Amino acid sequence: MQQNPEIESLERCVSPTSNQPPTVEASSGVGFSDHWDHRRALELSESRGSNTYGNDLLGLMLKECDSSSNFTSRDLIEECKTFYIAGHETTATLLTWTLMLLGGYPEWQECARAEVYEVCGNEIPDGESVSRLKLIPKLNFLMVGMILYETLRLYPPVVEMTRECVEESWLQDLHVPRGVSVSFPIVGLHQDKELWGEDAGQFNPDRFKDGISSACKHPNAFMPFSFGLRLCVGQSFAMIEAKVILAMILQQFLFRLSPNYRHSPAMKFGLKPIHGVPLVLGKCDACSWHWKSRSYLHCSWIQLNETERASRLYHGLRMKMNQFHKTCEAMKQCPVE
C-alpha cells in the first residue's frame, strides 16, 4: 500500500517543531495556501463580500483568521496540515495493519466476516441507509470493533505523545520544571504486561469483548486517540470510517498474507510497514462464503504482482470509495456521541 504522495511531501515539515530538513512544498504550505486563496475568493464572490465562509472546519478557521490577530495565516496552514494528515493517513495506516493481522489470523477474519454478513448481508452501507440511522447502530459491529481496538493497541498510528508542562510538577521523585516537554511511548504503554497481562504482545481481540475499560488494569492505559482535553476530535468519525471500509473489504474479498510479506514496522510519521503489506486475494460473495456455516463454498485465490495489484485494487477500490463518500455525506446529517 503506497503512501499518499501529498502527505509524503509534508512529512518532513508537519509542524514548526520538526527537526528534519523541510521540503519546499511542506515549508511553504503552497498547496494549502492556494486552496485557501481559492476558497476565500469563491466565498467572497458568492456572498458579495460578507465573509461567510460556511460552517465546515476551513470556513470556521478562515473566519477566525479574518477577525483575530492571534490566529495568523501561518497558523491556519499548520492546522490544515494537521487535519489533512490526521484525517487520511492515520485511518489508512490502521486499516493496513488490520488487514495484515486478519491475513495472519484467518479465524478472526472469519468471525469478523460472519458479523458483517449477519448485520449487512450483501448490501454495502450507502448514504440512504446511513441517513435513516441514529448513531449508526447497525454499524456498531462488536467483533469488528474489538479487532480494530486490538490493532490500535498493537500498532497505534502515533507511537509517542508529547505534552508541555504548563506549571512546575513532580512525577514521583522527578522534578519537571515549567515549559519542559514530556514524552511517553504509547506503544510501550499498550504492551506493558503489568497492565495487559502475559499475552500483551499477542493479537487477542477478545480482550476487548467487555469494552475498553475492562480490557486492562488502568482506564488510561489505552490511548490511541490520546485522552483528556486533547482527545482526538475525529475519534468517532475515524472508527466509523474504519468499520465501514473494513466491512466492505470483508464482504468482497478473502485475503491472506503473501509469502513475500516482510514484517517491518517503522516510524515514518506514524507506525507503518516500510515494505508494505502484500496480500493474496480471493473473491468473496454470497456464492463463495456462507456466513451461517462460516464455510467457503468456492474461492479462486489470486496472487497479484505489483502491476496487477496496483491496477485492480485502484479500479476496484475507486468504485467502493465512491460509495463510501456518499456514506460520509450522509454521516454529516447524523448526530455523533
State the Rg of the chain over Cα.
22
CA distance linking residue 259 with residue 118, whole number of Å: 31
- C-alpha cell belonging to residue 45: 464572490
For residue 271, which phi and psi values (nearest 5 degrees)? -85, 110
- Give the residues across from 183 on adjacent strands: 162
CA distance linking residue 172 with residue 40, whole number of Å: 51
- Give the residues across from 182 on adjacent strands: 163
User: Is 334 labelled a binding residue?
Assistant: no
DSSP for 140-202, written as a single string: --HHHHHHHHHHHHHS-S--EEEEE-SS-EEETTEEE-TT-EEEEEHHHHHT-HHHH-TTTTS
Residues, the chain, total?
337
- C-alpha cell belonging to residue 170: 513532580
Among residues 276, 235, 241, 272, the alpha carbon closest in space to that of 155 is found at 272
Binding-site residues from annotation: 232
Binding-site residues from annotation for heme: 232
